[in-house]
Each structure stands twice: as structure tokens, then as C-alpha cells.
Structure 1
Amino acid sequence: MGEYLQEFVDETTWYNNLVLGSLLPSKLWDPLPHILQTWLRNYIAGNLLYFISGFLWCFYIYYLKRHVYLPKDAIPTNKAMLLQIYVAMKAMPWYCALPTLSEYMVENGWTRCYASISDIGWVMYAVYLFIYLAVVEFGIYWMHRELHDIKPLYKYLHATHHIYNKQNTLSPFAGLAFHPLDGILQAVPHVIALFIIPTHFRTHIGLLFLEGIWTTNIHDCIHGNLWPIMGAGYHTIHHTTYRHNYGHYTIWMDWMLGTLRDPIDEEDKKVM
């Protein structure tokens, strides 16, 4: 078992060396304990992902394609985006504690993670991945909904994110503009799932990386209309009504529980 767990440690060490070794002198990070190296790697990678994806997407939709996807009055001001960046930067050190903790638990054998797809085969990998995503979807839906329904949670945590409640206040940078505990709670289902479902460790890391890109995308107010994806059109409605479209990647939970509101239907109502 010790040799098998060492595979996880070797993998996280490689990730640490890849990020930290490429950006920092070794004397700044090499003496740190492994868990602090992991946190520092997550912090640097998280910031890079946030700023690169945010700036590229803003440059594309607000400048290269200005007025193509959004009307002029729907484009947020630079002041609004800078405020979102400020809120996200205050929370980022805390956000990075969760994946650091999850990697620590994996390395110590506390979860059901496995190191290689060859351990179980591609068929079971696909089955377990589907179950993992379903559990995460279920968990994030209910966590998000309770952050609205439980008044103290909304008042002291989630309201920080919902000051962005119109098209001209939402931007890709709003994706991580949460109270730190709010952001962590909404990501916790990713970690809880590791204790329930056999999960490929590298896929888990990749899905956390995808979260950073996804949350940028769903705050740009552009409705992609790719069924059954819970895209930005749905999420914009969530920010304006507060009572609909709590889902994460798909519309299924909202559809089953009666909280779905379709952006196409909303447009039809405006026309009528």
C-alpha cells in the first residue's frame, strides 16, 4: 500500500516542480514542506488560470467582438471588473486550501482515488467518471440552493457574489468573486465524491482546473444554447431572479426539481 500511495506523492511532486520550478528560484520553495509546496503551486496556478482566462475572454467579447455578442449597455465597466478581481484575490489563498487538503488526503490513502486508469480499465473508468460527475452535480446544486434558502448563509456568505445581479455588472472576472467560505462550500462536493466513488486522481485534478475555466464562461452573459449544458444564459437568469438555475454543468437537477428557467423562454416573453 505504501508503494502505491507513493505514486500519488510522486505525481503531486511532479505538478509542484512543473509550476514552481518554472516560475520561482528553487531556494524559495524547495525547502518548504510538501504540503506547503502544493498550496503554493495551487495558488500560483489558480491566479494564472483566473487572470489568463478572464483577460482573454474579456478581450475577445468586449473588444474584438464588441457589440456582436452583447449590447453596449450590457458591457460591464472597468471599475466593476476591478472590484470583482479584488474580491477574488482576497479569497484566492483560501480557495487553494481545499485542493491542497484533498491532495493530502489522497496521498495518505484516505480516499478511493486510484493512480492509473489501467488499474480498473477504460470501461469502469467511464462508469465511475459518470457517477462522480452526477454526485458533484447533485452536491453543488443543493449546496448552491441552500446558500440561497438559508438566510444567514445568504446574508453573510453568498450575498457577496450576488451584488453582481445585472448583465452590465457581470463579467468573466465575477466567476471567483465570492466570500472565501462560499467558494469553498460550493467546491466541497468535488472532495466529498472522492470518499464515495473510485476516482482517477489526474482526472480529479483536471476537473478542478476545468472549474476555473467554466466559472469564467458562465459569467459572460452569452447564451450558448447547447442543451443540456447550464451555460451563461441560464446563469445570468440565476443572478437576476435569485431563485432559478442553481445547477452547475447541466440543467438536469433544476429540471427535475422545478427550478429551471430557460433563457429562450425569457426572450420569447420579452418579444411578446
Structure 2
Amino acid sequence: MAADHNHFVTETSFYNRIVLSHLLPASLWETLPHFLQTWLRNYLAGNILYFISGFLWCFYIYYLKLNVYVPKDSIPTRKAMLLQIYVAMKAMPWYTLLPAVSEYMIEHGWTKCYTTLDHFNWFLCFLYIALYLVLVEFGIYWVHKELHDNKFLYKHLHATHHIYNKQNTLSPFAGLAFHPLDGILQAVPHVIALFIVRIHLITHLSLLFIEAIWTANIHDCIHGNIWPVMGAGYHTIHHTTYKHNYGHYTIWMDWMFGSIKNPLLLEEDSFNKETK
């Protein structure tokens, strides 16, 4: 166990040095305890990812492709996007605490995480990733649904995110505009899965940060219509009806538990009502 512990610590220390040495003077981080270095690395990387993905995507859909993907009257105001950034920035120190805690547990050998493929073949590796994602999808679905169904949780946590309830109030920056505890709760299934499924450390960390890109994508109001992906079309319905499409990456959980609402069928219903 000690050897495995040292292996994990060596790897996470390497990641810390890569990020922190390029962003901060050594005097600001080298004397910090390992856990705080890990949190600082995640915090800085999370902010960079949030702003780069958000600004690039907004520039592309609201300026380069104006009126192509999103009608002009559905583009959120700069004030709305700045408010979303403000909410996300208040929560970011707490969001990035979760991966730091998960790395701490991994480093101490409390999870099923591993760092090498010495004892696994590629088939098992991908099988475990698929199982991990199924568990994450299942967990996020039920956490998200409970945040809606429980009035106390909705009022004090999830309502912060659902003030963005129309196309012209949703933007990629809304993807992380949550109450800090709300955002953490919806990411906890990633950590719980570590105790159930064997997963590579890099895979776990990558999937946590992919969350930032994915949440930006599903708040841009563009319906990609790629089955079974839970695209922005589905998630926009979630923001307008409050009782459909709780899933994360796919529509499978909503389909299984009867909460699915297809944006294409919704458009057909609206068209039929208008033509009557």
C-alpha cells in the first residue's frame, strides 16, 4: 500500500508542478502542503478551462455565427453573462475542493483507482470506464432530480441556477453558475464511483474537468440532435419546464424513469397548435 501511495503522490505532485510552475512564482506555492498545492492547481486549471471554453464558445455562436444557431433575440445580454460569471467565480474555490479531496483519498489507497495498466488489458480498461460513466450518469440523475423534488434543497440550493429559465438568459457561462454546494453534490457521483469501479487516475481527473466543458455546451441552447446525447436542446427544456431531462451526458436515465421530453416533439406540438 505504501508503494502505491507513493506512486499516486508522485504523479499528482508532477501535475501540480506542471500547472503551478507555469502560472505562479515558486515562492507562492512550493512551501504549501501537498493538499493545498493540489487544490490550487485544480482551482487555477478550473478557472482557465471555464473562461477559455466559455469565451470561445460565446464568440463563435453569438458573433461569428450570429443568427445561424441562436436567433438574435435569444442571445443573452452581457449583463446576464457577467452575472453568471460572478456566481461561478464565487463557487469555483469550493467546486475545485472536491477533486482535491478525491485525489487525497486516492493517494491514501482508499479507492479502487490505479495509475498503471500493468494488471489490466485495454478491454477491461474501457469496460471499467463504461461502468464508471453509467454509475456517474445514474448518480447525477437522481441527485439532480432530488434537488428539484425536495423543496428545501431547491429553494436554498438549486434555485440559484434556475433563475436562468429562458433562452435569452442561458449561455455557456451558466454551466457553472450554481450554489457551491449544489455544484459539489452533482459532482459527488464521480467520487462515489471511485469506491466501486477500478478507474485510472488520469481518466478520473479528465472526466471531472470535462464536466466544465460539457456544462458549457448544454447551456448554449443549440440542439445537436445526436442520439442518445443529452444535448442543449434537452437541457433547455429542463430549464423551462423544471420537471424533465434531469440526465447529464445521455437521455437514458430520463427514458428509463419517465422524465424524458424530446425537443423535436415539443417543436412539433408547438407547430401543430399554431396551425390549428
The TM-score range, normalised by the shorter chain, is over 0.9
The one-letter code sitting in structure 2 at the alignment partner of 1:39 is W
Deviation for aligned residue 1:172: 0.2
Q: Distance in 2 between matches of 1:252 and 1:198?
A: 23
Q: Distance in 2 between matches of 1:116 and 1:231?
A: 33
Q: Which runs of 5+ in 1 are unaligned?
A: none
Deviation for aligned residue 1:120: 1.4
The one-letter code sitting in structure 2 at the alignment partner of 1:219 is H
SS at match of 2:195: helix
Q: Distance in 1 between matches of 2:42 and 2:130?
A: 26
The answer as to 2:135 corresponding to 1:135 is: yes
Q: Distance in 1 between matches of 2:77 and 2:13?
A: 41
Report how many aligned residue pairs link the two structures.
Answer: 272
Deviation for aligned residue 1:145: 0.1
Superposed CA deviations along residues 165-188 of structure 1, whole A, max 9, x for unmatched, are 000000000000000000000000
Deviation for aligned residue 1:209: 1.4
Deviation for aligned residue 1:160: 0.2
Q: Which residue of 1 aligns with 2:263?
A: 263
Deviation for aligned residue 1:119: 2.5
Deviation for aligned residue 1:269: 1.2
Contact 2:4–2:109 (CA under 8 A) maintained in structure 1: no
SS at match of 1:137: helix
Superposed CA deviations along residues 33-64 of structure 1, whole A, max 9, x for unmatched, are 00000000000000000000000000000000
Q: Which residue of 2 aligns with 1:160?
A: 160
Deviation for aligned residue 1:121: 1.4
Alignment of 1:231-270 (within 5 A): 231-270=231-270
The answer as to 2:10 corresponding to 1:24 is: no
SS at match of 2:76: coil
The one-letter code sitting in structure 2 at the alignment partner of 1:239 is H
Q: Distance in 1 between matches of 2:127 and 2:174?
A: 33
SS at match of 1:57: helix
Q: Which runs of 5+ in 2 are unaligned?
A: none
Superposed CA deviations along residues 187-236 of structure 1, whole A, max 9, x for unmatched, are 00000000111111110011111111000000000000000000100000
RMSD over aligned Cα atoms: 0.6
Q: Which residue of 1 aligns with 2:109?
A: 109
Superposed CA deviations along residues 52-102 of structure 1, whole A, max 9, x for unmatched, are 000000000000001110111110000000000000000000001100000
Contact 2:165–2:240 (CA under 8 A) maintained in structure 1: yes
Q: Which residue of 1 aligns with 2:145?
A: 145
Runs of 4+ in structure 1 deviating by more than 3 angstroms, as ranges, are none
Q: Which residue of 2 aligns with 1:50?
A: 50
Q: Distance in 1 between matches of 2:225 and 2:127?
A: 27
Contact 2:84–2:173 (CA under 8 A) maintained in structure 1: yes
Deviation for aligned residue 1:11: 1.1
Deviation for aligned residue 1:127: 1.2
Superposed CA deviations along residues 8-50 of structure 1, whole A, max 9, x for unmatched, are 1111111101110011111110000000000000000000000
Q: Distance in 2 between matches of 1:103 and 1:4?
A: 13
Deviation for aligned residue 1:118: 3.0
The one-letter code sitting in structure 1 at the alignment partner of 2:238 is H
TM-score norm. by structure 2 comes to 0.98
Q: Distance in 1 between matches of 2:209 and 2:163?
A: 26
Q: Distance in 1 between matches of 2:89 and 2:266?
A: 34
Q: Distance in 1 between matches of 2:39 and 2:169?
A: 31
Deviation for aligned residue 1:117: 2.4
Q: Which residue of 2 aligns with 1:36?
A: 36
Q: Which residue of 2 aligns with 1:185?
A: 185
